[in-house]
Structure 1
Amino acid sequence: MYKFQISIIVIFVKNVYSQGIIGNPCTLESSNSPGVCKLLTQCKEIRDQVVFSQKLPQPCGFEGTHAIVCCPKTRRPGYMSESKCREYTSHTKEKQLCGHNIVKRIVGGKRAGRTEFPHMAILGFPMEDSDNYMWLRGGSLISEQYILTAAFGLLHIYIGRPQVVLLGVTYLNDTDHRQEIKIEKYISHPEYNNTSYYHDIGLIKLEKPIEMSSYVRPACLNTYFNIPVAKVVITGWGQTEWGGDSSEDLLKVTLDITEYEVCNKSYQSIRMLKRGIINSMHICTQGNELEDTCQGVTGGPVQIYHNNDKSSCMYDIVGVISFGKACGGAPSVNIRVSHYIKWIEDIVWPENNQ
């Protein structure tokens, strides 16, 4: 670590010919975006870049022996998601409780491991004349107090809004490690409306932060358009056949990512998709008659294994389950998370609070 810090200082000395002034404007050469000269100690994004990516900062100059660097004027979309991912990874020390067992082959789903998907959430809707809840719609814990889900799932046409979120269980009636937290706020994407399938993404703010454990922990968010694998993992308590009962056990299934052209062809002339499937905001997945998504998993995560850090116990959420046709039939359509990263971060981790 000391050698790395010394090498940065040497490079600064060799390449900076005049002392920069703190507060002066600068332009980030990597993105051609506006920046401002700040002490390295006061620019967390650049410090993280040095520590985690080992990329040298762009110098402005020195104040005494303290480096002044070109700091982004506004944070890069994706920065907070990546920073928080590293933070949440630190909670995966108990490797024996990780429980990752991918099934290379919800319809035909396999039971999920007890601590395999600690970010998995399900929304509870009130039952008439009862203190109990109907557990419908899925979601993903992405911070200590926010759930990522589908905008469609935030309002049921007959029973209204969900009231609580359930976390920490794979079997719905399990009481061990169960966290049932009331909902404080519902946030649909501003461009969503229930007459179309576009922008079907929403957030739920919990009434209080979760208690972090091996059973309840936020997932990471995929911040880039490209997905480095051909298969994704779907999880949910959905129906195991068309029109059938929902599973009380959390199920998982591994599906193929469908090519955009194939998916778009499957959804031509759909009234609620006037512009067809849009590759930048949708991801399509498909299984077969034995393994696929089904009713009841709307809002749940489309995820891949997280490989950017040393932890093997994390998932990256690449999509939110939105809609499809029959179970095991045409491709299912999911909302691409990377398209909405800035919107998510501005709500979950407001810039003025960092």
Structure 2
Amino acid sequence: MRSCKVHNCGSSIIATAAATLVVCGLVAIDPALCRLQPAENVFPTDVNKALLPNVRQGLNDCHLRYHKYGDYNLIYPIFGVPVRLGEFAHMAAVGWTGANGVIDFSCGGSLITARHVMTGAHCGSREGVPPDVVRLGVIHINTTLDDPKNEFAQQYKIERFQRHPEHKFSSYYFDIAIITLERPVTINDVVTPACLWNQPEVDFPRLEAVGFGQTSYAGDKTPILLKVQLSPISNEECANFHNSNNIRKLRNGIIETQVCARDSKMDTCLGDSGGPLQIKLMSNHRSTPYVVGITSFGVFCGTAAPSVYTRVSSYISWIETETGESFAPETCASRYIQMREADESMVTNRVGDHVFIEPEKSYMDI
């Protein structure tokens, strides 16, 4: 397989196989897309207890409570999996407006408040020019704003692009930035801020990356948003690979403010640079996305080599200072709870705007 340096091959997601997403003890797949039926065993077979209070004081033990480290029924859709509108309501496309008025969306980001998008600091300049626009609420990117496919799109000018003060374009470290939009977004079920994972440990067996990536070596970007499944690996294992490549921008090797992920059954480059690496956790029968990392860099395009992400938990204080908001897990999870996607397997009845659920399925104690 041919390979290229990431700065030459561009941002991409190439998936030749993917496992089912394990979300808080549930096995979630997209039957309509994959043309498969959900796995018969919704919960791990040795789980026969449930019931924790619906109000949590913290999420420190989520990886112990919500995930069973064992065998799951796996499915393998080919390439990246297209997402549904609203499935990644925090996904932002960061772009540059050309002289002809056409916008080139070359970076991704995560909406984290009504007026702030978190992205990679390396997205702050393309040939010396900063990005000037952010688009949200879309899963089709190679279209104009007035395209019928973009019925729910929201587009904003960038008022301020604040790179981390210690970031240098000659280095992969401190690769985080906060974009301030010209005005607050309109919050709805397809445009909703994500939460941030504030614990240094990333002990989840599977994570998700998402972006408008390429589907072949040196190919064009896909016009639709794709998601892929990845497994986090230790920094030590990651360093064994990356340090052996003598990366100029990685003078100190892989450090604690970075996190790595890969999948032996997938070809991965990057998602959209600056886009999210995340986990979805349940809060009262609704799925809340927690951004664990920011897509930073990889070495080879189209291999199963680990990609490197900025570890969000290392920068929580700086993010809170820049945005003026708290990202305590319990506070964030409740902030936009009514906008989150409901897990239909937990719903027993609906009456108007009221949703009735099975309480024993709201939380799992493994």
Q: Name the residue aligned to 2:185.
A: 210
Mapped to 2, the partners of 1:53 and 1:291 lie a distance apart of: 35
Q: 2:101 aligns with which of 124, 131, 134?
A: 131
Higher RCO, Cα 8 Å, sep 6+: 2
Q: Deviations over 1:125-167 (max 9, x none)?
A: 1223x11201111000000000000000111126x11111000
Q: 1:151 aligns with which of 105, 116, 121?
A: 121
Q: Deviations over 1:155-204 (max 9, x none)?
A: 1126x111110000111222210101110000000110011110111110
Mapped to 2, the partners of 1:248 and 1:334 lie a distance apart of: 24
Q: Is 2:287 aligned against 1:317? A: no
Mapped to 1, the partners of 2:184 and 2:287 lie a distance apart of: 21
Q: 4+ residue runs of structure 1 moved beyond 4 angstroms?
A: 51-55
CA positional deviation for 1:324: 0.2
- Opposite residue 83 of structure 2, the aligned amino acid is A
Q: Name the residue aligned to 1:227.
A: 202
Q: What does 1:170-181 correspond to in 2, within 5 Å? A: 170-172=139-141, 173=143, 174-181=149-156
Q: Name the residue aligned to 1:166.
A: 135
- Opposite residue 131 of structure 1, the aligned amino acid is G
- Do the aligned partners of 1:253 and 1:292 also contact (CA within 8 Å) in 2? no
With over 3 angstroms needed to count, the CA separation of the structure-2 counterparts of 1:347 and 1:341, relative to structure 1, is same
Mapped to 2, the partners of 1:117 and 1:202 lie a distance apart of: 20
CA positional deviation for 1:104: 6.1
Q: What does 1:1-354 correspond to in 2, within 5 Å? A: 52-53=55-56, 108-128=79-99, 130-157=100-127, 160-172=129-141, 173=143, 174-268=149-243, 269-278=246-255, 280-288=256-264, 291-294=266-269, 297-307=272-282, 309-325=283-299, 326-349=301-324
3-state SS of paired residue (2:210) = strand
Q: Deviations over 1:19-49 (max 9, x none)?
A: xxxxxxxxxxxxxxxxxxxxxxxxxxxxxxx
Structure of higher CA gyration radius: 1
3-state SS of paired residue (1:314) = strand
- Do the aligned partners of 2:270 and 2:307 also contact (CA within 8 Å) in 1? no
Q: Name the residue aligned to 2:42.
A: none
Mapped to 2, the partners of 1:104 and 1:223 lie a distance apart of: 31
Mapped to 2, the partners of 1:148 and 1:104 lie a distance apart of: 32
With over 3 angstroms needed to count, the CA separation of the structure-2 counterparts of 1:296 and 1:334, relative to structure 1, is closer
CA positional deviation for 1:275: 0.9
- Do the aligned partners of 1:304 and 1:315 also contact (CA within 8 Å) in 2? yes
Mapped to 2, the partners of 1:316 and 1:153 lie a distance apart of: 21
Task: Indicate the RMSD between aligned Cα atoms, in angstroms.
Answer: 2.3
CA positional deviation for 1:235: 0.3
Mapped to 1, the partners of 2:192 and 2:158 lie a distance apart of: 18
CA positional deviation for 1:311: 4.3
- Do the aligned partners of 1:104 and 1:254 also contact (CA within 8 Å) in 2? no
Q: Deviations over 1:53-107 (max 9, x none)?
A: 569xxxxxxxxxxxxxxxxxxxxxx9xxxxxxxxxxxxxxxxxxxxxxxx965x9
- Do the aligned partners of 2:208 and 2:229 also contact (CA within 8 Å) in 1? yes
CA positional deviation for 1:296: 6.1
TM-score normalised by L of structure 2: 0.64
3-state SS of paired residue (1:272) = coil
CA positional deviation for 1:350: 6.0
CA positional deviation for 1:291: 2.6
CA positional deviation for 1:327: 2.5
Mapped to 1, the partners of 2:247 and 2:95 lie a distance apart of: 30
With over 3 angstroms needed to count, the CA separation of the structure-2 counterparts of 1:298 and 1:190, relative to structure 1, is same
Mapped to 2, the partners of 1:225 and 1:196 lie a distance apart of: 22
Mapped to 1, the partners of 2:87 and 2:136 lie a distance apart of: 13
With over 3 angstroms needed to count, the CA separation of the structure-2 counterparts of 1:54 and 1:191, relative to structure 1, is closer
- Do the aligned partners of 2:209 and 2:271 also contact (CA within 8 Å) in 1? no
- Do the aligned partners of 1:184 and 1:204 also contact (CA within 8 Å) in 2? yes
- Structure 2: give runs of 5+ residues left out of the alignment: 1-53, 60-73, 144-148, 327-366
CA positional deviation for 1:267: 1.1
Mapped to 1, the partners of 2:55 and 2:320 lie a distance apart of: 20
CA positional deviation for 1:313: 2.7
- State the percentage of identical aligned residues: 35
Mapped to 2, the partners of 1:114 and 1:233 lie a distance apart of: 16
Mapped to 2, the partners of 1:251 and 1:127 lie a distance apart of: 25
Q: Name the residue aligned to 2:341.
A: none
Q: Name the residue aligned to 1:35.
A: none
With over 3 angstroms needed to count, the CA separation of the structure-2 counterparts of 1:317 and 1:292, relative to structure 1, is farther
TM-score normalised by L of structure 1: 0.66
- Do the aligned partners of 1:239 and 1:295 also contact (CA within 8 Å) in 2? no
